Amino acid sequence: MAETKELPVTGPMAYTKEWYEARKKTIGASESSKVLGMSRYGQALDVFMEKKKDPSDHDPMTDAMRRGHALEPACLSMYQQRVGGTLYMDCPMLIHPKHTFLSCTPDALWCSEEVNLEKLPWSFALDYIPVEAKTSEMYAEWGEEGTDAIPNEYLIQCQQHMAVTETERCDVPVWVGLEHRVYVVPRDDSIIDAIIDASADMMQRVEADNPPPVDWEHPKTPEIISKLHSVREGVVINLEDELVEKWMQVEDLRKQKRGLESKEKILKAEVEYAMGDANIARMPNGREIVRSIQKRSEYTVAAREFITMRARKIK
């Protein structure tokens, strides 16, 4: 790192119209693991598609995201009680002073110095670190408190926070179930260099309208592909032999699936018939089958569009 710290460029506040517009021009910290191909939740093609969309057409928050936002203030408050100092929680988007295609919006910034933020404005010249609050119910994903044993997606997100702010550490307070923990992620310049290179390549692809290769092994790929193209009525293409073979495999798998589902229903019905009106049927292997009445409340499904695929005879 340079001896003289360069201050990040401040951008718009999170979740404003301007913030969504600015995200189209940069790779955010939550996107960097996808760009690097190290995310369970998406891949580089996801990020490319997001950058090409209209800024007003952003995905709504999931239930997990809403829960995280609701618990974030309490998580940060508990963190400050544990570490003291000053916690600045009105952090806008921050943009790398050199690599302007790189941005982050930390949940908070912390410094050990006591600063009265009611009287004095926050200064990026302070000796601070970024803070990224999380919530999780997956105990197995988190290692020993005080270490950087956290999920890869968050580890890379923290590295981008440190890249943009030119800091040496990022703290991660987290609710793991009902347990509050604090993890400490040290700066790793090798990861940061990889983030910068991959992010630069991605933004060049966005500008040139050149999507990255599809990762066909990623579990989220079918969902991504279903959103990649719309349907233009009347447009006809001829499939190559290799793709015809793939479609024949699709139809064969569908037949196998229907056959297996039918067999499953018959076998289940035979056992249910034998149980009569019994609630429980015990097996010699120590397991038991439980029948119970489930009630489902009436609800309305929101209207949406989706693409279907089927084969038919050429008209």
Per mean pLDDT, which range of 1-10, 94-103, 198-207 is the poorest? 1-10
d(CA 288, CA 294): 18
Q: Do strands 128-131 and 179-186 pair parallel, antiparallel, or not at all (unpaired)?
A: unpaired
Domains detected in the chain: 9-228 (3.90.320.10), 241-290 (no CATH)
Digit-coded pLDDT (tens) for 60-98: 767 777 877 888 999 999 999 999 999 999 999 999 999
d(CA 66, CA 60): 10
Digit-coded pLDDT (tens) for 266-280: 999 999 999 999 999
Q: How far is CA 243 from CA 209, 213, 238, 248, 257, in A?
A: 25, 18, 10, 9, 21
> Band of the pLDDT at 56, cuts 50, 70, 90?
confident
d(CA 241, CA 59): 37
Structure tokens at 48: 């490319």
What integer is the mean pLDDT of 275-291? 92
d(CA 97, CA 163): 10
Q: What is the pTM of this model?
A: 0.79
The set of residues, in sequence order, having a beta carbon less than 8 Å from that of 226 and lying 6+ positions away, is 306, 307
d(CA 172, CA 187): 13
pLDDT > 70? residue 311: no
Q: What is the mean pLDDT of the chain?
A: 90
> Band of the pLDDT at 2, cuts 50, 70, 90?
very low
The pLDDT score that the predictor gives to residue 228 is 80
Structure tokens at 145: 């408190």
> Band of the pLDDT at 54, cuts 50, 70, 90?
confident
pLDDT > 50? residue 1: no
Q: How many CB atoms lie within 10 A of CB 188?
A: 16
SS3 content of the chain, % helix, strand, coil (to 5): 40, 15, 50
pLDDT > 80? residue 296: no
- Is residue 180 within 8 A of residue 5, CB to CB? The reply is no
- Is residue 55 within 8 A of residue 17, CB to CB? The reply is yes
d(CA 63, CA 69): 10
Q: How far is CA 15 from CA 59, 148, 314, in A?
A: 12, 28, 48
Considering only CA atoms, give the Rg of the chain.
25
- Is residue 196 within 8 A of residue 102, CB to CB? The reply is yes
Q: Fill in the DSSP letter of residue 102.
A: B
- What SS3 state is found at 252? helix
> Band of the pLDDT at 223, cuts 50, 70, 90?
confident
The pLDDT score that the predictor gives to residue 308 is 63
Q: Which residue has the higher pLDDT, 295 or 91?
A: 91
d(CA 27, CA 101): 6
d(CA 83, CA 79): 6
> What percent of the chain is modeled with pLDDT above 90?
72
Per mean pLDDT, which range of 28-37, 75-84, 116-125, 235-244 is the poorest? 116-125
The pLDDT score that the predictor gives to residue 306 is 67
Q: Fill in the DSSP letter of residue 56.
A: T
Environment class of 78 (CB within 10 Å of its CB; exposed 0-12, middle 13-18, buried 19+)? middle
d(CA 32, CA 53): 18
> Band of the pLDDT at 309, cuts 50, 70, 90?
low
d(CA 30, CA 194): 15
Digit-coded pLDDT (tens) for 100-145: 999 999 999 999 988 888 777 888 888 999 999 999 989 999 999 9
What torsion do the CA atoms of 68, 96, 11, 208 make, to the nearest 10 degrees?
Answer: -90
The type of residue at 219 is P
Residue 31: phi and psi, rounded to 5, are -100, -15
